Amino acid sequence: QLASREYQKETRTIQFGNVKIGGNTNNTIMIAGPCSVESESQIQASSALLKSHNLTMLRGGCYKPRTSPYSFQGLGFNGLQLLDKMRNQHGLAIITEVRDATHVHEVIEHSDIIQIGAKAMYDQGILRACAKTHKPVMIKRGFGSTLQETVQCAEFVLSGGNDNVAICERGLRTFENKTRFTLDLCGVAYLKEYTNLPVILDPSHAMGHAYGVPDLTRACMAMGVDGLIIEVHPDPSVAKSDASQQLNHDQFNALMQSLPAIGNAV
């Protein structure tokens, strides 16, 4: 299997522009930004925050896979245009999610990394479309998916011709409900041992509450993961999605200051 260490010993390197994820670097790529792109002023503030830390990868969802049809669904194509503007104005690379196959080609065209959401992990229309591009893909593990099922979704993309696949662990559903999900760090150790896929950790969605995100981020850094994806919002109290888990800018600044003692977040 293409994702296995038997097939390829070295961790895959995902490279585009000045961004390098995985391979044999000791760097952890720090992807940050709001859950959803909400407005130009919001995404400008997020971009300025990233620039102040010399970070290069901005996250922001435009097609949101909400649990309720009555919640904010994202800005759609208008959001993608705002992200294009951030790339052009600030030189940032963009990761944004595809929710279903109806807009997969728009997301492929307007992103630098295509994010396949946890609920969309099994969508073969998306997986097969992503296999036909060379744009990097980050597959988020479903919250009820085994490691093997997750790696097999990656195999669909790899075997279809796209070498640039990373896995994101974002927490599993367990009996516990004090935290939103349960971050599977054992699974991360497995992925690192047996697969050649870069591994990106999402403590924000796992925890569901901002208070736990800094400690979890540091724990992930200590595991030597290839990347982190953190939700941060200029004013989380008014965020249109995932308000409780997004860090504010002060919290993010404090987190960034604490990381050099553990590893290189770039």
* Residues at the site binding ligand PEP, with contacts judged by CB under 6 A: 35, 61, 65, 117-119, 140, 170, 205
Return the sign of the alpha-carbon dihedral for residues 171, 67, 110, 165. positive
Confirm or reject binding of residue 126 to Mn ion (CB under 5 A): no
- Work out what residue 266 binds among Mn ion, ligand PEP, none; the CB cut-off runs from 5 to 8 Å by kind: none
Taking the least distance from each CB to ligand PEP, the nearer of 65 and 160 is: 65
Shortest distance, position 117 Cβ to ligand PEP, whole Å? 3
207 lies in the binding site for Mn ion (CB under 5 A): no
Task: Work out whether strand 13-16 and strand 19-22 pair parallel, antiparallel, or are unpaired.
Answer: antiparallel
Tokens of 55: 């970070």
Is residue 242 part of the contact set for Mn ion (CB under 5 A)? yes
Based on CB atoms, which residue is closest to ligand PEP, 35 or 82?
35
Nearest one of 182, 184, 264 to 227, comparing CA atoms: 264
201 is written with which tokens? 């950790």
Residue nearest to Mn ion (CB): 35
| Residue 107 touches Mn ion, criterion: CB under 5 A | no
- 214 binding partner (options ligand PEP, Mn ion, none; Cβ < 5 to 8 Å by kind): none
- The residues near 223 (Cβ < 8 Å, ≥ 6 apart) are 185, 188, 189, 192, 201
> Closest separation between CB of residue 263 and Mn ion, Å?
24
CB of 241 to Mn ion, least distance (A): 6
38 touching Mn ion, by CB under 5 A: no
Identify the helix (H) or strand (E) that includes residue 44. Answer: helix 40-52
Minimum Å gap between C-beta 60 and ligand PEP is: 9
Locate 221 and state its tokens.
């850094």
Contact 117, 100 (CB under 8 A): no
- Taking every pair of C-alpha atoms in the chain, what is the biggest distance, in angstroms? 48
Least separation, in Å, of the C-beta of 11 and Mn ion? Answer: 26
Task: Give the nearer residue to Mn ion in terms of CB position, either 112 or 231.
Answer: 231
| Cα–Cα distance for residue pair 220/226, rounded to 1 Å | 10
Amino acid (1-letter code) at residue 106: E
Closest CA to 110 of 132, 86, 146: 86
Q: Which is nearer to Mn ion, 169 or 242 (CB)?
A: 242
Site string for Mn ion, 165-204 (x = CB under 5 A): ----------------------------------------
CB-closest chain residue to ligand PEP? 117
Q: How many CA atoms lie within 13 A of 183 on its CB side?
A: 23
Number of H helices, E strands in the chain: 9, 11
Give the nearer residue to Mn ion in terms of CB position, either 192 or 205. 205
Residue 35 interacts with Mn ion (CB under 5 A)? yes
> Which positions touch Mn ion (CB under 5 A)?
35, 242
